[in-house]
Amino acid sequence: MSRQTPDLLPAADLAGEPRRRLSRIWPGWGSAKRVPLLIIGSVLGALVVLAGLLAPWITPYPQDAGAVVHPAQTLLAPSAAHWFGTDMVGRDIFTRVIFGARVSLGIVVLVLVVSAVVGLTVGLAAGFFGGWLDSVLMRVTDVFLAFPALLLSVALAAVLSPSALHAAMAIAFTWWPWYARLARGQAASIRRQGYSDAARVLGASRTRQLVRHVLPNAATPVFVQMSLDAAGIILTAATLSYLGLGAQDPTPEWGLMVAQGQPLATTAWWVITFPGFAILLTAVAFNFVGDGLQTVFDPKRGLR
Amino acid sequence: MSRYVASRVAQAFGVVLGVIVLTFVIARLIPGDPAVAYAGPRASAEELAAVREQFGLDQPLWQQFVTYITGIVHGDLGISLHTKQPVTSDLIQVMPTTLVLVGIALVFAALIGIPLGLAAARSQGTLGDLAAKVISILMVSMPVFWLAILLQIVFFSRLGWLPVAGQYDTALDSTSPLYSVIGVPVVDALLTGNWPVFASAATHLVLPVIAIAAYPIGAVAMVTRGALLENLGDEHIRMVRALGFSELSVFGRFALRPALNPIVSLIALVFAYALTNSFIVESVFNWPGLGSYAVKAIQTLDIPAILGVTLVVALLYVLLNLIVDLVQAIIDPRVRA
């Protein structure tokens, strides 16, 4: 960003002193170096989404995503017929891993939508109206943030009956305060901006100010944060399922598949390896995208 | 400063009260009758009534809350449905193991993560920097339960290098018996100079520590890199460079010092991750700590134990956040304003 205008931003340029080596070899590196992870992450993420969407058509044994049993084919090692081998009841693991993308992505979308809506509402209300409402809402938010996120999800999921939906609800329950805090800070600072005053002076109603001016500007950092959080949600959901607090058999959920394969891990490595790798791959894809977007939108902010 | 401390401590107390309310609310969300959960489905009406009376479930909700909070103040977290022991004494028994494990993992994470972040910042924009970033992202993307099982398969089943479960080789008990000091073998052996057991306990630590430290290493490296780069762009760095200080002291003395604050603020968050990771890792490696206790409680739907663990960990976390804020205020006077 500062490269083209070194005279205006000398300090930032100076920070770049040691990073010139590669740009001597390949001049395009300067602009491309910011995005390789964003590109790789987007491609990987798109592949996971496509795999989930097209699961019934691209898997060799779509019926294996459900409650079927093939007693003659249990725990077969990976082969041409079963690329990732078969599990303890003979289901094709490749099929179940691909279908698993649907469950995991579904949970991610649900958690993000619910917690963004709740978080934005609470945060905007607190930041825009201020006063006692702000104090009350932010103290409540502090209480939620006082728990390690996974722990609160686990406690809540444990008292609910185990299912993928309840796991998603339990995660959203712990996720919204981050967005509330972020949106509140934005809303409070926007309220003090000139264009906010202008809108008020021109007689815009409070609703109009909120919807037309505050919401769009407060939402951008929340969206960036959401892209960073997708990986965390994937991991949290997988952990809940691994603990038996999420999706239940026969749902092809990655964390659950690892838990089911754990007793056999030393003899049938493929049962846990491929679902776990799917979790890692998806989380890496989302983290690459989140990191890239963050570099593009806000290069100065670190990991939260 | 004292005003800042007072307001920060008051705020922490408010949060603690909120945490207690929230755990109480979660406990009341249990579908069905908690008395049935305790007494079992075949209990008679009289037995259920007795259980209700014993736990005060026949009282109005506000009174139950008063009882709950009075109990907490007196260190009473209820009776575990699974162990039938007071949750408090269970927790006192399992906490040291977990705190030692998490403490070692965090030291390990700092020893690897901070230099990795330093090296990445030092070579910003090179392939080395990119590699460090990819490694960090891999670390924070790793599902910890999967990593723990893979480590077991590779280093125990395939290579046979490292032990897979337990805290030390109990066969050593006959030749060099271990005296309990705090109830954590690796520490007890060190304190009593029991070297055979200490060596065994140390090798038993390797795999669990790696599994727990993975996320913290990645997170610490990323934050260190970011904080350093932010400071490297500052005026004072231009100044010391212009004054001809060596690159080493530019980094070590002038860039790292102000970058310490974001790293310190990360401690609480990383502790939370390491602690929740230890839950999984302990149960995979069969360590008798807080994590195994919590996982067992989850599997047996032992609500008092689950909420006891949740509450204690949240209180620890609030305390740690408070300490971190106060330390930051000491390092950086701007925080107090």
Q: Does B21 touch chain A (CB under 8 A)?
A: yes
Peptide bond into A250 cis (omega under 30): yes
Contact at 8 Å (CB) between A249 and A97? no
**pLDDT band, residue A100 (cuts 50/70/90):** very high
Nearest to B84 by CA among B38, B43, B50: B38
pLDDT at A32 over 50: no
Alpha-helical regions (H) of chain A = 10-15, 21-25, 29-32, 36-58, 93-129, 131-145, 149-159, 164-191, 194-201, 206-208, 215-242, 254-261, 269-297
- Give residue B336's pLDDT band: very low, low, confident or very high (50, 70, 90): low
According to the model, what pLDDT value does residue A298 have?
A: 59
**Residue A17: inside a domain, yes or no?**
no
Whichever domain contains A187, its CATH number is 1.10.3720.10
pLDDT band at A17 (very low <50, low <70, confident <90, very high): very low
pLDDT band (50, 70, 90) for residue A83: confident
Contact B310 A155 (CB under 8 A): yes
Domain count, chain A: 1
Give residue-wise pLDDT tens across range B178-219. Answer: 677 677 777 777 777 777 778 778 788 888 999 999 999 999
Provide the residue type at A29 as one letter: W
Q: Are A14 and B233 in contact (CB under 8 A)?
A: yes
Identify the CA nearest to B203 among candidates B188, B221, B185, B180: B185
Does pLDDT of A10 surpass 60? Answer: no
Higher pLDDT, A32 or B289: B289
Chain A touched by B30 (CB under 8 Å) = yes
pLDDT for position A264: 85
Asked whether residue A280 carries a pLDDT value surpassing 50, the answer given is yes
CB A104 within 8 A of CB A254: yes
Closest CB to A284: pick one of B18, B129, B141. Answer: B141
Q: What pLDDT is attached to residue B41?
A: 67
CB of A34 closer than 8 Å to CB of A295:
yes
Ordered structural domains, chain B, with CATH: 1-82+300-337 (no CATH), 98-286 (1.10.3720.10)
A180 touches A142 (CB < 8 A): no
CB contact under 8 A, B138 and A33: no
CB environment A87-115: b (16+ within 10 A), e (fewer): bebbbbbbbbbbbbbbbbbebbebbbebb
Per-residue model confidence (pLDDT) at position B310: 86
Residue A194 domain flag = yes
Q: Does residue A154 belong to the interface with chain B, where contact is any CB pair within 8 Å?
A: yes
B98 and B292 in contact (C-beta within 8 Å)?
Answer: no
Tell me, yes or no, whether A51 lies in a domain. Answer: yes
Say which range, A4-8, A125-129, B151-155, has the weakest mean pLDDT. A4-8
Residue A105 domain-assigned (yes or no): yes
For residue A296, the one-letter residue type is V
pLDDT digits (tens, 9 = 90+) for A142-153: 888 888 888 888
| Residue of chain B whose alpha carbon sits nearest to that of A282 | B141
What span, in angstroms and rounded, lies between the C-alpha atoms of B318 and A148? Answer: 10
- State which residues form the domain around A101: 34-63+73-301
Residue A2 forms part of a structural domain: no
With pLDDT > 70 as the criterion, what percentage of chain B qualifies? 89
Instruction: Using the predicted structure, report yes or no on whether residue A248 has a pLDDT greater than 50.
Output: yes
* Residues 6 or more apart whose Cβ sits within 8 Å of residue B175: B196
Looking at the partner chain, which of B122, B123, B275 has a beta carbon nearest the beta carbon of A148? B275
Which residues in chain B have their CB less than 8 angstroms from residue A10's CB? 238
Identify the three-state secondary structure at position A1. coil
The answer for B 281-300 residues in CB contact with A (under 8 A) is 284, 294-295, 298-299
The answer to whether A72 contacts chain B (CB < 8 Å) is no
Confidence of residue A112 (pLDDT cuts 50, 70, 90): very high
Residue reference for tokens 């009534």: B49
Phi-psi region of B320 (alpha: psi -120 to 50; beta: other; left: phi over 0): alpha
The 10s digit of each residue's pLDDT in B57-77 is 777 778 888 888 888 888 888
Q: What is the pLDDT of residue A22?
A: 55
Chain B contacts of A156, Cβ < 8 Å? 26, 29
Token reading at B224: 């260190």
pLDDT at A279 over 90: yes
Going from the C-alpha of B337 to that of each of A9, B3, B211, B319, B332, the distances in angstroms are: 29, 10, 39, 21, 10
Residue contacts between A and B (CB atoms, under 8 Å): 194
Q: What is the DSSP string of B280-329?
A: HHHHHHT--SHHHHHHHHHHTT-HHHHHHHHHHHHHHHHHHHHHHHHHHH
The alpha-carbon gap from B48 to the nearest alpha carbon of chain A, in Å, equals 20
Q: Is the pLDDT of residue A5 over 60?
A: no
Q: Is residue A1 part of a domain?
A: no
Q: Write B159-162 long-range contacts (CB < 8 A, 24+).
A: B162/B203, B162/B204, B162/B206, B162/B207
- The percentage of residues in chain B with a pLDDT greater than 90, rounded to a whole number, is 12
Is A255 in Cβ contact with B145 (below 8 Å)?
yes
- Give pLDDT tens digits for B278-290: 888 988 888 888 9
pLDDT tens figures, B90-108: 999 888 889 989 999 999 9
Contact B18 A143 (CB under 8 A): yes
| Statement: residue A192 has pLDDT above 80 | no
State percent of chain A over pLDDT 90. Answer: 31
pLDDT at A23 over 60: no
Q: For residue A256, what pLDDT is reported?
A: 93
A19, A235, A258 ranked by CB distance to B125: nearest = A19
Q: Give the other-Cβ count within 10 Å of B337's Cβ.
A: 6
Asked which of A112-121, A192-201, B290-299 is least confident by mean pLDDT, the reply is A192-201
Whether residues A37 and B137 touch (CB distance < 8 A) is answered with yes
Residues of B in contact with A139 (CB under 8 A): 14-15, 18
pLDDT range class, residue A206, cuts 50, 70, 90: confident
Q: Which of A128-132, A192-196, B74-78 has the lowest mean pLDDT?
A: A192-196
Contacts for A231 with CB less than 8 Å, ≥ 6 apart:
A282, A283, A284, A286, A287, A290, B140, B141
CA B79 to chain centre: 24
Q: Considering the entire predicted model, what is its pTM?
A: 0.83
pLDDT band at A49 (very low <50, low <70, confident <90, very high): very high
Instruction: State the pLDDT at residue B135.
Output: 92
At residue B231, what is the residue type?
N
Instruction: Report the distance separating Cα A289 and Cα A286, nearest Å.
Output: 5
Helices B127-141 and A269-297 cross at an angle (nearest 10°) of 120
From the list B19, B130, B279, the residue facing A146 with the nearest CB is: B19
HEC profile of A152-202: HHHHHHHHCCCCHHHHHHHHHHHHHHHHHHHHHHHHHHHHCCHHHHHHHHC
Residue B129 C-alpha, separation from nearest chain A C-alpha, in angstroms = 9
Chain B CB contacts of A272 under 8 Å are 146, 149-150
Contact B258, B86 (CB under 8 A): no
Q: How would you class A22 by CB atoms within 10 Å of its CB: exposed for 0-12, middle for 13-18, buried for 19 or more?
A: middle
Q: What is the pLDDT of residue A13?
A: 44
Greatest mean pLDDT among A42-46, B242-246, B257-261 lies in A42-46
- In angstroms, the separation between the Cα of residue A237 and the nearest Cα of chain B is 10
**Structure tokens that stand for A131 in this block:** 């006063």
Encode burial over B213-231: b for 16+ CB neighbours within 10 A, e otherwise. bbbbbbbbbbbbbbbbbbb
Does residue A85 sit within a domain?
yes
Evaluate whether residue A162 is within a structural domain.
yes
Note the pLDDT of residue A8: 39
